[in-house]
């Protein structure tokens, strides 16, 4: 059963419209790739961040995380997810 009335389709390889919430994320990832801050496929990086944050948001909206825990989780989850895409992190998929 999906929360909030069902699952919307999402095709990360499709055309990104001006109103698409993924556009700013992909733009930031593209800049980080160009600056060699991140390495890997932009779509894969975007999806890893998207699903990480989706999980935290879902838990927060369901009341499973109090505000302080949710804030701490956001502050640790994003850097942790990005470390895996950092060329200096030694992550296996970056070798």
What tens digit of pLDDT does each residue of 20-56 get?
A: 778 889 999 999 999 999 999 999 999 999 999 999 9
pLDDT, position 87: 87
Residues 52, 48: Cα–Cα separation, whole Å = 6
User: Residue 5 pLDDT > 90, yes or no?
Assistant: no
- Report the candidate in 46, 39, 41 with the shortest Cα–Cα distance to residue 16: 46
User: Residue 92 pLDDT > 50, yes or no?
Assistant: yes
- 47 CA to centre of own chain: 5
pLDDT, position 7: 52
pTM, two decimal places:
0.69
pLDDT, position 29: 95
Burial of 73 (0-12, 13-18, 19+ CB in 10 A): middle
């Amino acid at each position: 059963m999906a929360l909030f009335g069902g699952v919307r389709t999402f095709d990360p390889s499709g055309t990104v419209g001006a109103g698409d919430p993924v556009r700013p994320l992909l733009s930031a990832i593209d800049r980080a790739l160009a600056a060699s801050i991140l390495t890997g496929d932009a779509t894969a990086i975007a999806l890893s961040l998207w699903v990480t944050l989706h999980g935290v948001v879902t838990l927060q909206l369901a009341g499973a995380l109090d505000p302080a825990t949710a804030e701490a989780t956001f502050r640790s989850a994003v850097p942790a997810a990005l470390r895996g895409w950092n060329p200096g992190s030694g992550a296996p998929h970056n070798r």
